[in-house]
Amino acid sequence: MRAEYRRLLARYGPQGWWPGRTRAEIIIGAILTQNTAWANVRRAISNLRKNRALNFQALEKTSPARLAKWIRPAGYFNQKTVYLKAFAAMLRAAAGGSPARLFREDTPALRRRLLAVKGIGPETADSILLYAAGRPVFVVDAYTRRFLAARGLARLAAAAYDDIADFFIARLPRDARVFNEYHALLVRWGKDHPARVRSAG
């Protein structure tokens, strides 16, 4: 996988991920980007910024109806309203509303805490760990699975999330910057290689 990383980096160059000015914005973006394109998330983030709601204290105080209206461009807005409020409530209870204080926990404990929040699965949790907390975890998404399948590793591509993450971690330097760049490069590769849709006929 190191050779694949070097080839992708040579082809596409550094990607400069993840978009976000603050830890709070990165976390909110990671939750909003579930099942939607980043362009849609950008519009939702813009709405939150205009309304001074790109922080968890504001999100917790905002009514569900108003918050859903602001994040509507990101899709599944009613569900994601619940997820954002659940994260804000956890953050207040566990760390007094401070992401910096929350991120003092060691990685396994922090990951367990994130996964216990409604609406946060492994991909979202690891995106928060990698991009907001700077932890060396590998984010697995649909692009990662397609990349593995394209490299003749179809069985691994169909494996459980953590098995795929462990596969990459075992073959790369344990460096958050490398994991960050690799994930971004796989997304870039995936956009150049859209999934094939099989005909029903």
Name the percent of the chain lying above pLDDT 70. 97
Answer positive or negative: Cα dihedral of 108, 109, 113, 116.
positive
178-193 as b/e: b if 16+ CB within 10 A: bbbbbbbbbbbbbeee
Looking at CATH, the fold of the domain delimited by 23-132 is given as Endonuclease III; domain 1 (1.10.340)
How many other C-beta atoms are found inside a 10 Å radius of the C-beta of residue 110? 20
Q: Rounded to an integer, what is the distance from CA 183 to the centroid of its chain?
A: 10
pLDDT digit string, tens, across residues 76-85: 999 999 999 9
CB 137 within 8 A of CB 109: no
pLDDT of the residue at 173: 94
C-alpha dihedral (107, 174, 127, 1), degrees to nearest 10: -140
- Above 60 in pLDDT, residue 198? no
Question: How far apart are the C-alpha atoms of 139 and 159, rounded to whole Å?
Answer: 14
Which residues belong to CATH 1.10.340.30 in the chain?
23-132
Q: Rounded to an integer, what is the distance from CA 84 to the centroid of its chain?
A: 14
pLDDT digit string, tens, across residues 12-62: 999 987 768 899 999 999 999 999 999 999 999 999 999 999 999 999 999
pLDDT digit string, tens, across residues 92-138: 999 999 999 999 999 999 999 999 999 999 999 999 999 999 999 99
Question: How far apart are the C-alpha atoms of 83 and 12, rounded to whole Å?
Answer: 34
pLDDT of the residue at 199: 30
Question: How far apart are the C-alpha atoms of 140 and 120, rounded to whole Å?
Answer: 14
